[in-house]
Chain A
Amino acid sequence: GAVVSQHPSRVICKSGTSVKIECRSLDFQATTMFWYRQFPKKSLMLMATSNEGSKATYEQGVEKDKFLINHASLTLSTLTVTSAHPEDSSFYICSVTGTSGYNEQFFGPGTRLTVL
């Protein structure tokens, strides 16, 4: 399967600041990456689909101006949480599709965001 990294693994920021999270596909060129959000003891919630070279597709209820996604290359997608507030504190996880096609998704290790 694909190997996916995320950076940073943990970030603490002050309310009102912006935070950028990187998702890298280390051994696979991913035309599509996905961004998820997970609250404690809850399941994963898809936020957006990140498409290389084009605009991301956001799920209903996810503010695109709040969560900026850039997929500038086949190995890197970034999620920027703009003007972060405490309610944005969460576990953010990205995934990429596997080499066999879109059926399998391989996940990164996640980024824990805490907004004070």
Chain B
Amino acid sequence: GQQLNQSPQSMFIQEGEDVSMNCTSSSIFNTWLWYKQDPGEGPVLLIALYKAGELTSNGRLTAQFGITRKDSFLNISASIPSDVGIYFCAGQLGSNDYKLSFGAGTTVTVRA
């Protein structure tokens, strides 16, 4: 699949902080998806983006589909302890190609 560059690789958060992560690609995607995975479980869909420039929120989460269609970011506002986990971005070409290409993930940990 396509290679997605996701950053940062890991981050430490303090409760109440805002968190931001992003994904870039050398190729255009027509759909961007953000997932969260807890240890030993499958990824859970957080936000799906379908149009370039689209800004979508889901509670404290906000994600944007970059205007060039080659990038996306995810923001978490006022983080809480249960926000810890691994966040993955995924891109999909669509138009009969429905496979997902995943980023390497961003590991979010609570700062002691």
- Give how many A-B residue pairs fall within 8 Å (CB-CB): 60
Contact B98 A110 (CB under 8 A): no
Chain B residues in 8 Å Cβ range of A113: none
CB interface residues, A 57-99, toward B, < 8 Å: 59, 91, 93, 95, 97
B35-59 to A contact mask, C-beta < 8 Å, 1/0: 1000011111100101000000000
Contact B48 A34 (CB under 8 A): no
The reply on B94 being an interface residue by CB < 8 A is yes
Chain B residues in 8 Å Cβ range of A42: 104-105
Chain A residues in 8 Å Cβ range of B105: 42-43
Chain B residues in 8 Å Cβ range of A44: 43, 88, 100, 102
The reply on B66 being an interface residue by CB < 8 A is no
Given contacts A32-B98, A44-B88, contact A103 B48 (CB under 8 A): yes
The reply on A105 being an interface residue by CB < 8 A is yes
Given contacts A32-B98, A104-B48, contact A112 B92 (CB under 8 A): no
CB interface residues, B 53-112, toward A, < 8 Å: 88, 90, 92, 94, 98-100, 102-105
In the complex, A102→B98 CA distance in Å?
Answer: 6
Contact B33 A109 (CB under 8 A): no
Known pairs A104-B45, A106-B45. 5 more at Cβ < 8 A? A34-B99, A44-B88, A97-B98, A103-B50, A105-B33
Identify the 5 closest CB pairs spanning chains A and B, nearest first: A107-B42, A102-B98, A43-B102, A110-B42, A103-B31
Q: Which residues of A contact B (CB under 8 A)?
A: 1, 4, 6, 32, 34, 42-44, 46, 49, 59, 91, 93, 95, 97, 102-110, 112
